[in-house]
Every structure is written in C-alpha cells, then in structure tokens.
Structure 1
Amino acid sequence: MTAHEPVGLWSAPGRVNLIGEHTDYNEGFVLPFAISHRTVAAVGLRDDARIRVASTFTNEPVEVALAELNTLFPTPAGSAPAVPEWAAYPLGVAWALLADRAIDVPGVDIAIASEVPVGAGLSSSAAIEGAAASALNELWSLGLSAKELASIGRTAENEAVGAPTGIMDQTASMLGEPDAAVFLDCRSLQSELVPLGMAEAHLAILVIDTHVKHAHATGGYRDRRDACERGAAIMGVSALRDVSVADLDRAAELMDDVTFRRVRHIVTENQRVLDTVEVLRAEGARAIGDLLVASHASMRYDFEISVAELDTAVDAALAAGAIGARMTGGGFGGAGIALIEASAVDAVSAAVLTAFADAGFAAPNLFTVAPSIGAHRDE
C-alpha cells in the first residue's frame, strides 16, 4: 500500500477537569471528563520502516526512520525536543509503544487535525496522543487496553516532550463516556465513571478560553511540582496523597510559607475531589458549586497558578449567576469553566465579555462543552 493512502481515521477528545488540579502527579484524585472537541488522526501504512507526521498546525511535516526514534527520545531534562514540539507528541507515542517491544511494524503516515484549542488547558496534547496511540495500537496489532494507552501517552508527554504532567489528561481522553466524569485514583490508576446528569438537570459547562497561552514544559509548572516533592519529603511521605487536612497544622510548623501553601492546596484539593464525587452521587451537579469556587480560591492564593484573566472570568461568571466557576488545567493561562443553567449561556457569556472589555483584556473564546466519549476509531 502506498504512503498517503489513509486506512482509517482515529480520534480522541480534549478534556475539562471538573475539579482536582495538580493532584495527579501527587498521586491524588481527579475528576475530569472528555469533551466533544476532538483531534483526528488520519493514518496510512507505508512500505518502508519510516514514520511521517503532518499537522494542520504547520506546513512542515516531520519524517524519521522508526529505528531513529530511540536516538530522538527521551528528551534530556530541561531541553527542548529534538523535533518540533507538536511532532514530539505523535512521534513520542510511537517511540513509547515500540520502546520495550522487539517487533517489526510497518511505517506509517499520520496526518493530524484538531478542534481542541491549543494552550487553553483543555489538553490538546492528550488528544493528539490518544488519537495517535489508538491508531498505532490497532495498525501495529499491539492489543493494548485503553488504560495502557493512557500510560503510553503520559510517557510520551513526560519523556519525549519533557512536560512533567500526570496521567489525568490521557485517562480522561481514553476512558471518557457521555454525561459522565472519570473519577481517577492517580496512585492505583483505578477509575470509575461518575454520572453528571447535566442534561437532565438543564445545566451546562461554559468554557472561557482566555487566550493566555501556557506551556507545561516551562518553569512555573515544574516549580510547583518541585514544591510538592519538597513538602512530601518534609512530611516524611512518598507523595502528598498521604497528607490529610488534619496534618496541615503540623505542616505549617515545618515548612516555609510558600511550600506550605503549595502543600495546602494539594491536600485540600484532594479532599474537594472526594467531596465532589460524594455530592454528585447524593445531590447532583447543582450542589457542587461551592466546591468549584473553593478550588479556584485555592489555586489563586495558595498554589498561585491563576492569572488576572482567569480571575476575571471566574468572578464575572459568578456575579452573573453561575452555580460555580474555577480555572481548569495547569494554570498560568488557559481556560476557566463555569457551571451554569443551560438557559443562562447567553447572559453569562455576555457578562464575561463585558468584564474582559472593562479590564482591557482581549476578548475570550466562549463555548459550551458536553461530557463525551473517549478515543476510538471513527472509520
């Protein structure tokens, strides 16, 4: 079969994290859901042992021999990938899939198109990884499960791209289901679906993309992760998952102020995830607003990963009647989310646009998302 002839289309979604920010790499709990915005990979088989990736992000494709992947990755800590960053995601997936397997596989052409906003905190990267991993898993007859492919995506992001993220994004992208969130224990990697009941309750999730770009591989994210590891060491535990709210008074006595506030965010955020799951099951989505608001305050003041545009988005949405609102994603830009009445989308959107204009900020991109299905073959 010639190159350039697609044998199928595979897609994977971005995700919104309902609650549980920066808890994933602390072996804690998260509650994301897959969204309807997806990344599609059209994949063709080649008659040589090369891999070529192309994308709507750029006019310049990247092509290497499959045998060269081990020379490109892993990317040394603190360095940029040996290929353009967008290409490091699918090439990193291919590398991670083949790294421990002494098998011969055909070369592939992968063409990527995405409707997941880049840099908005909606995990456009996990969507690329999920689409590429799903396609290669099938075409290379690897037989890996969705959970295993999520782990492959994390390996690509951590070791090929050099972004020190956890596994939340990839898990949501691989395992999402309509009208449900994925409750994930990031230590055991056990997950379960938690029904959200958004449609039945006539609720909507409004995404407010601030257009303030962030990059996980750069300093602020890594600094927060370092602070968490430092705090865990001070508390004598392997991860902050093992520190409870009741331990915070002792933590305050042992740590400098900045480290303590970073730790306090993780510890209280873990508890908020557990509380949110409990409230969703007992009372439904309409009752989780205060938990979302508390999460944003913690990220704003303790973890210090919000920015003025995100605070404006959250404050304006709440003032316009949102049930709850918070920033979502890694922070330092990206998007906020607001849980609102479905009938109030236009009114809340208008209030946010006015608040941004009044503050002198560029207008955000506003759209609603619905909890949707994870990665799969489309055709």
Structure 2
Amino acid sequence: MSHPSSHPSSQPSSATPRPRDFSALAAYGWDTAWEAAYDDACARPATAGPDPVPGRVVRVDRGQCDLVTPLGTLRADTEFVVPRDPLRVVCTGDWAVVDATGNPPYVRALLPRRTAFVRSTSSKRSEGQVLAANVEHALIAVSLAAEVDLGRIERFLSLAWSSGAQPVLVLTKADLVPDETTRSHLLADAATSAPGVPVLAVSAETGEGVDELAAAVAGGTTALLGQSGAGKSTLANALLGRAAQTVRTVRDRDHKGRHTTTTRNLLPLPAERGGGVLIDTPGLRGVGLWDAEDGLGHTFAEIEELAADCRFADCAHVAEPGCAVLAAVESGTLPERRLDSYRKLLRENARLAARTDARLRAEQHREAKQRQALGRHMMERKRGPRRRS
C-alpha cells in the first residue's frame, strides 16, 4: 500500500474545481454546518489538494473504509489520518475529506465530531475506543427473553449520555412476555433505572412498537447498541424494512447470542418512515466507562437531585450525618440497589480517570485518607469514649 504523500494527486492543483453538488449526502445527514466544516478543512494547507470531496464513513475494515460521497461509494485508505490518539481513528459515522482521485482514494482528514460513543478498552493502557460518531440517538437494546440486568442498563445509559446522544431504551422480544402484568413490572423496573429516557417494548417478530420506535429516531443518525443476543440485527431489519442484517438464534441454555454483526455498518433508513441512518454495531461483552461523569449525572438524576440537599457539599453518601440520599434509602423512596450501582460506577469512572491523570491520583489518595479518618471518627462516636484503666 502506497503512502498518500506518494500519490501524484496529493500535490496541490487548481486545474479542476471540486464538485459542489452535495445533495446526494442529504439522506446521510449532510447539512449546512457540515458543509461549513468541510470548507474550513479544505482551506487548511495540510488538507488542501486537488478535487477533495466530502464523504461519510459507512464501514471501517483493516486500515480502509467505505464512504458515501457525491461521486458514489468509495473504498479509501485511512493511512494518512492515523493519529497517536486512539480516539481520533476513523470510525463509522465520521464525516471526512476524501481525495477521490488517489490510487487508491484516501481520507485526507476527519471533520470535527459532534458526538462520539466511547468505551474504555480492556487494555491496561487506559485507552478509549470510539464505537460510533456523530450520533443523535443511541438505542440500547435489552432482551426480555432473559433476566433484565438493571445494572448493565445503567452502564449503557451512562455511556450514551456521555456521548452527547439521546438514549432510547428498547426492550426487545416483547412477544416472549405475553403476560401484561409481568411486562408492566419489567417496564416499570427499567423506567426506574432510566430517568428521562424513553422506554419502549418492541417485538420485531410481531411488529409491536416498531412504528413508534421508527418515529422516535426518524431523520437523524441512530446507533444500535447492546449485548449479543439482544435482538439488534432483527430490530435493525425491522427498522430498515428489509433483511439487511443476518440473524442467528441465541443459545437455549443461557440465552446468550452469537456475534452475527462483526463490523459497524451505517445503513439508510426508509424515507417513508422519516429517513435517517442506522449504525448497527457488534454485540458488546464488556462496556467499560470512559469519561462518563456527566453521563452518570443523567443516569442517576434523582440521586444528584437528592445530593443537593445533603448537609455537606462533598457528601459521599456513606455515613455522613445529614445525608439526604441515605435518608431517601431509609424511607424507601430510593432503592438501595440504585445507590449501590451509582457508587460502583462512580468508583470505576474515577479509577479510570486516575490511571491517566497523576493529579487526580494524588487527590484521590488525599480524599481516601480523609474518608478513613472520618470512618474512624464515626466508629469512635458509636463506641463512645474509651474508659481509662
């Protein structure tokens, strides 16, 4: 594979102006703001060149990507834009400046992202991984065919809120829970774990809820996320109105799915349902938080509201006097499970941040010592003054 700098087309030329009819991109989310960002990128010396065109990444595969452009769909190299920052690698959903005359075509630059769905990797280097870019809606698919894991829902929602997208919680395979009372309880539990988030029960098998879901995400870019076996591919086909994605059955013994979708694909939604595009993603086994403090604030909004009434501004909601959060748990208005999940995700997010920030590590060490001192003080108060022999 030749490096882009070796392409004859990479030398600046003004022989032919770049095409200005970008109407073919409108169905993929192109608007005047993206056009302004594209013009700005083309004006930079590092990006300037002959006949660059805008394109949206619909698939990434081993150093190459497929993009939809005004010239049609192109397969392009991404070698020229390999950054040191793993969060800046080319990702499905990105808008890019493309040299269509290169041999092969190649991506010159990425346009600034509006949103990015990022998770931490399992690497000890504390790297983040971008799952999808420039997304307006994040559909979190959770199967009703197995026991609903509320903690996992909260984890997904925290990442979705942190991305800048509006999450929508989709309880799939609703036809497998025909009992209305049972279904109502499941919906209520899910809604408790997802304040401010639409919660929809959907069955791609019967069509229940599909039209409502399509209306909720019409016109924008939607990322479909969830574990393997959640019915994402089946749901994607229902929204697309065609069998675009391969569907496989889950294992009977544990209801776990097999990885049907292996790449992130951006697919246009039907115009008759309002249009927009859908990014279907592979099933996620692990969902590590990444810079999710704001997302946690949204996901646990009721705890954040209660915390405003705590006696101490830095209340950790553990044993402090005058803690409004603990009072809500004792009164039964806040489920203890919610507080436990909140604490767990806060600790995880803080640990990840500390691994990449020496200053935060020092602060956490100091705060840990203060909490230990507070704990000893509270224990001494409970035991009462020591008697001298």
Q: Structures share a fold, TM > 0.5?
A: no
Q: TM-score when scaled to structure 1? A: 0.28
Q: When you count helix as a share of all residues, which structure comes out higher?
A: 1
Q: Which has the higher contact order (CA 8 A, sep 6+)?
A: 1
Q: TM-score when scaled to structure 2? A: 0.27
